[in-house]
């Protein structure tokens, strides 16, 4: 199967999110050399990245989902 950063992030968010543990799935984009647009997904537990890190500083967060605690 296909395993992208988004697929991995969704699996981790589904596995670790609970009432006791709020995790946040984030998606960001950046301009790559040659003006191509790149995207990346990662999951945070407070300020700690659980998967998808380290995230380059030039990624701009465009979406975030946090489970309901």
Alpha-carbon span 7 to 1, nearest angstrom: 10
In the block, tokens 């990624």 appear at 59
* pLDDT at residue number 6: 96
Of 18, 24, 21, give the one whose Cα is nearest residue 53: 24
Is residue 29 within 8 A of residue 39, CB to CB? The reply is: yes
Query: For the segment 21-69, what is each residue's pLDDT rounded down to a tens digit?
Result: 889 999 999 998 888 999 999 999 988 999 999 999 999 999 999 976 5
- What is the signed CA dihedral for 1, 43, 17, 7, rounded to 10 degrees? -10
* pLDDT at residue number 43: 97
Which secondary-structure segment (H or E) carries 45?
strand 37-45
* pLDDT at residue number 34: 87
* pLDDT at residue number 69: 52
* pLDDT at residue number 33: 84
* pLDDT at residue number 3: 85
């Amino acid at each position: 199967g296909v395993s992208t950063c988004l697929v991995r992030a969704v699996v981790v968010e589904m596995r670790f999110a609970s009432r006791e543990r709020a995790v946040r799935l984030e998606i960001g984009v950046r301009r790559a050399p040659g003006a191509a647009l790149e995207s990346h997904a990662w999951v945070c537990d407070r300020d700690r990245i659980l998967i998808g890190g380290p995230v380059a500083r030039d990624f701009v967060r465009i979406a975030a989902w946090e489970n309901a605690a």
